[in-house]
Amino acid sequence: MPHVASPPPTDGRAPFRPDIEGLRAVAVLLVLAYHARIPGFPGGYIGVDVFYVVSGFLITGLIVRELHATGRVDLLTFYARRARRLLPAALVVIALTVIASAIVLPPLRVPDVAADGAAAALYVSNIRFAAQATDYLQAELDPSPLLHFWSLGVEEQFYLFWPALLLLVAGRGTNIRRIGLVVGVVALLSFALGVVWTDSDAPLAFFLLPARAWELAVGAALAIGVARLSRIPISLTPVVVGAGLALIVIGAVIFDTDTPFPGTAALLPVIGTALVIAGGIPQPLNAMSRLVSVRPMRWIGGISYSLYLWHWPLLVLPAAAVGSELPLPARLGLVALTFVLADASRRWIEDPIRHGRVAKLRPSRSLGIALVSSVAVATVSLGLGVTAGPPAVAGSIGNASQSAIVDLNLPTSLPSTAAATNAPATPSAEPTLAPTPAGPVPADLVPPLATVRQDLPPIYADECHAEWKETAPPDCVYGRKDGKTVFLIGDSHAAHWFPTFQRLADEQDWRLVSLTKSACPVADLPVYNGTLKRQYTECDTWRTAVLDRISREKPAMVVVSDSRIGQLWVNGNAVPYTDREDLWATGLERSLDELRKVAGHVVVIGDTPRPATDAPVCVSGHLDNALACATPLSEAITPAWTATERTVSTETGSTFIDPTAWLCPTVPCPAVIGNVLVYRDGHHMTTPFARALAPYLEPLLPTLGK
């Protein structure tokens, strides 16, 4: 949530608006309720949009008044005031959050948080999160404690270009009509872009200024039209303000994390905020505006910036420290603590710098200090990320994990037994691998923790794994060009088997074609993309193209593998795969039937067991105990899902292979087997582990010959 500071009544630039101070309180309380998961406000994130409109109104009003008074805008003074107001408290919170993260978070998470801190200090965190395709509304699993700084990045970027744009448009003097025209054009273009991006690339729409500028421009339009809005009949203003507050509350109540946002949905809080501001322009204040302006609301509005800065780290870091979601009373207690810290922050950080000796410095000097301070915090943050991150240790093959072949010492007989009985190995049935010792994690861990996030199968670097918006399968062929053709198809859980089949292709002289796409199953069903917030039509197009290519090439074997974690699109609603296994079975059967008509053999590899946590993160925090990150078998697999995949495979004449016994040779399922890290994240196998499974998988595959 961005902060917007109402000029105090003694500054001579604008009359104090107590109703806007109260409106800021409404906005920050909604965000607090949303982040603390207080029941009843699943759409509380719209508080950010309320602030954007208020920010556009106040800042544009300040600029227009300066243009009227002097015919120019002192940009240095404007930027210096913004820096003094926003930077001090923000830099303190960033620094303390990064330090606290280095203490309480597992080492593998610290470099990412440190990079978030550097981006926040430079007010580009929104760009960073957009580039990472972060889903803010679904950021429940190990969220960054600095994720909330995205909105401050949007606001600061707005502050950077907006005064200069208005000054350029105004020319000599103040041409309100020309300024209004530009504001209108910005609003319309930005809104259109936001709607398009919300449908096609939701992270860009959510995080980037071009898709959010229209919200600030609506506030700017109110500032330009103050003279006309002041003529609203006093008798109508309570209705106008009441309607605006109702729209804001309705949005907070009916929206949730599945609402495509901002898109057209953002109109609700934006229009609501505009009505509240407009209804408070005619004086004296009406009854509804006075209700928003009561002293407690003005006090909360006055500390809203610090409330926003402190609340998210206070909610995230304690939960990370205990390793689980905090109960509601604990979350409410942390919210209460946020108010204490926010008030202290305003008294001892914000106000002294905003109104003290620093305020008397020349604008150029203030900006110089601000720039140096931001760069210093960013640099220290990155440095702490390096020193507090995971150790960069590895054995002799640690730096060659893409091509390394390691021996897991799994008996060759185990996979066939497990696949035939559909019973994962347990200590009481066929103990096949000695339990992982309850000692330290091997120092020669492969891949090293410091680089495990980059341990992707080669198809990612080769641009042969399709991301969300891609619909045309690439021409990616590996192995011997004139060998027996084998297709590997499915979502990212098929992609993590690529190293296994690449090794087999080299050994068996196969021609390997890899066609995988993120979150896109082979099962012929409409699916929902939680990041795009809509039906995943790109998946349907991709699947059709893949099946068409297989039909043309008639390969010797097609290998299918999909994740069991995802959502179907059923009657306009998102439904987890596992809630509609009947639909999944029907869709998978359709696809396998089609493949069996054109391929020599079809093989279905069941989904891999899923660790209870992000395995590398957990291991990095428990280097003294290799078993600390093991997952109970009951949490790692879904037997009914495996049974469904097996049944459909058998009925369609396909070969089914259950990989559970390889990843769970003992229970609980270990995160490290030998000196090999099993997972690179919360559910994808590492490259060296996948390659090591080749000799265990090969005997179960149909014989293709040379």
Q: Is the separation of the CB atoms in 30 and 46 below 8 Å?
A: yes
Cα gap 395→436, rounded to integer Å:
19
* Band (435; pLDDT cuts 50, 70, 90): very low
- DSSP class of residue 327 equals P
Which alpha helices (DSSP H) does 38-175 contain, by range? 47-70, 75-104, 110-121, 125-131, 150-170
User: Are 558 and 516 a contacting pair, CB within 8 Å?
Assistant: no
| Segment holding 590, helix H or strand E | helix 581-598
DSSP 1-36: ----PPPPTTSSSS---HHHHHHHHHHHHHHHHHHT
Burial of 16 (0-12, 13-18, 19+ CB in 10 A): middle
pLDDT score recorded for residue 642: 95
**Higher-scoring residue by pLDDT: 138, 258:** 258
Determine whether 477 is exposed, middle or buried from the number of CB atoms within 10 Å of its CB (0-12, 13-18, 19+): middle
- The SS3 of residue 367 is helix
Q: Per residue in 223-274, pLDDT tens?
A: 999 989 999 999 999 999 999 999 999 999 999 988 999 999 999 999 999 9
In sequence order, the 6+-apart residues with CB closer than 8 A to the CB of 269 are 46, 49, 50, 53, 247, 248, 251, 252
Instruction: Tell me what the pLDDT averaged over the chain comes to.
Output: 89
**Residue 177: pLDDT band with limits 50, 70, 90:** confident
Give the confidence band of 609 by pLDDT, cuts at 50, 70, 90: very high
- Render the burial of 257-274: b for 16+ CB within 10 Å, e for the rest: bebbbbbebbbbbbbbbb
Task: Tell me: pLDDT of 448 over 60.
Answer: yes
* Tens digits of residue pLDDT in 144-153: 999 999 999 9
**Closest-CA residue to 365 (of 4, 72, 59, 84):** 84
**Strand-pair category, 573-576 with 655-657:** unpaired
Average the pLDDT over 83-110 and give the result. Answer: 95
Structure tokens given for 70: 């002097």
Share of the chain above pLDDT 90, in %: 76
Residue 422: pLDDT band (50, 70, 90) is very low
d(CA 502, CA 508): 10
Calculate what percentage of the chain has a pLDDT beyond 70: 89
From 65-74, 423-432, 485-494, the region with the lowest mean pLDDT = 423-432
| Statement: residue 167 has pLDDT above 50 | yes
Buried/exposed code over 630-667 (b: 16+ C-beta within 10 A; e: otherwise): bbebeebbbeebbebbbebbeebebbbbbbbbbbbbbb
Residues 6+ apart with CB under 8 A from 138: 257, 530, 531
Do 183 and 218 contact (CB within 8 A), yes or no? Answer: no
Q: Is the pLDDT of residue 4 over 60?
A: no
Say if strands 655-657 and 601-605 run parallel, antiparallel, or are unpaired: parallel
Confidence of residue 443 (pLDDT cuts 50, 70, 90): confident
Give the SS3 label for residue 168: helix
Q: Average the pLDDT over 186-214 and give the result.
A: 95
100 contacts 317 by C-beta, under 8 angstroms: yes
| pLDDT per residue as tens digits for the range 520-565 | 999 999 999 988 888 999 999 999 999 999 999 999 999 999 999 9
Residues facing residue 570 across a β-bridge: 573
| CA atoms within a 13 Å half-sphere pointing along the CA-CB vector of 388 | 23
- Count of CB atoms situated within 10 Å of the CB of 686: 25
pLDDT in tens, 680-698: 999 999 999 999 999 999 9
Q: Give the chain's domains with CATH numbers.
A: 18-388 (no CATH), 456-607+631-655+680-700 (3.40.50)
